[in-house]
Amino acid sequence: MKRYFFFHILILSGLMLCTAYAGNTGKVSGTIIDVDTNEPLVGANVVFEAIWQNNQRVDLEHKYGAAADENGDFFILNIRPGVYDISCSFIGYKTEMRTQVQILVDKTTRLDFSLKADLMESDEITVTAFKEQEVEVDVTATKQVYDISNVETIAGVADISNILELQADVVDDHFRGGRTGEAQYILGGGAIVNPVDNERAFNPIVTGLEQVEVYTSGFTAEYGNAQSGVVNMVTKEGSNKWIGRLESSVTLPYYKTWNESPYDEKNLHFYETLLDLEEWLKDNPTDPGKPLFDPSYGFISSYLRQRNVWPPNPLNHADTLHIAAVGQAMWMLSMQDVGLEYNNTMDNRLDFSAGGPIHDNTKFFIAARQNTEYTVVPTTDPDIERQVMMNLVYQADLNNKFKFSYIVDNTSESEG
């Protein structure tokens, strides 16, 4: 029995691996030379020392890197996107530290070092003026990479749809004029599109993301089932230091109700007038020559009309008022919310995220949101969206990492 259980687990893991595609890591390459002779420094070491999260420097528990070859060249693969401090050292040379180097998803970051010989032991050289390449020679597509630490502080940027609004060539999920459903949305290596209409299934919150890569043209066959655009989202992970973030925002209701209740009788100028039954017999402003409500509007069955059961023919004033009373009663049914209190219409959003170590080589991260929003057309109940994104990462060794992700999105919409 136990053997069959493990067999099923292996089959499920294989299926999960098969459905994951698109890049989720970056790459660093460069050359290390002697600053005076321009000779390559064979065997010089490049090491990732720390990662920056929420403007805090966190030392890496598992430091990884590479050594320069006979030409002084090096490269490091499968780097989690983020901002890092990277050091370069060699025996007999001063150690050089590059701070806040940004590693982008699906991109090779060029990092060259020129070390200075030093026969005497001295402090390392810290270089803070890291500058990205102005021209990316290895990019053949039109793309934009958003680092969440740079955009999450922008007012109004709360989920992936708000990030796409920063793109000049994306409007309401239409990429460069393409139709809705022609774009591919990838989260953590797997697609999050609804198979029924091929549209995005939900809006991932920015607090659960590390980077967002947006392609609007020229994307390769790496991204299947994409016609007009690709959005590749990399989820955030915990580090070896606990870091949390709590954010709350409130939007006042005046921009929807003009600081007045839409249910207040004084704002319904026609309400008091139409309480008078005689007003229903006056000229209809939308259909001149007819009263506001009469038998020709079709509420009386043809059976009663043909057999002269009701209404009588010809109509007298009392009969007409009786018919108008039916229309007034139907209208009053639609106006039953008049006088309802509407003073709790403040939209509010609460975001929470935290991550850190829970055991040796095991890190946990969670991001959650509750968003309460009242619709423009007033309703008694708001729209409520709840979303949780969390993952558990086990670092077996420097070359093997296992990640389990869990995402829940629940939305309840009020009925007007």
Rg (CA), the chain: 32
Six-digit token string for 10: 């292996």
For 266-292, the pLDDT digits (tens) are 778 788 888 888 888 887 777 777 777
Domains of the chain by residue range: 21-127, 142-235, 243-255+342-412, 269-334
Six-digit token string for 115: 């070390």
Of 56-70, 271-285, 300-314, highest mean pLDDT: 56-70
For 22-46, the pLDDT digits (tens) are 678 889 999 999 999 999 999 999 9
Lowest-confidence pick of 88-92, 160-164, 360-364, 398-402: 398-402
pLDDT above 50 (res 16): no
pLDDT above 70 (res 312): no
Under 8 Å between Cβ of 113 and 97: no
Lowest-confidence pick of 72-76, 250-254, 276-280, 322-326: 250-254
CATH classification of 142-235 is 3.40.640.10, yes or no? no
Mean pLDDT of 53-81: 89
Model confidence pTM above 0.85:
no
Helix (H) or strand (E) holding 303: helix 302-306
Under 8 Å between Cβ of 412 and 384: yes
Name the one residue in this structure whose structure tokens are 């590390």: 210
CATH classification of 21-127 is 2.60.40.1120, yes or no? yes
What is the pLDDT confidence band of residue 4, given thresholds at 50, 70 and 90? very low
For 328-354, the pLDDT digits (tens) are 888 888 888 787 766 557 889 999 999
pLDDT above 60 (res 298): no
CA 71 to chain centre: 43
Six-digit token string for 232: 């590749």
| Calpha distance 292→266 (Å, rounded) | 22
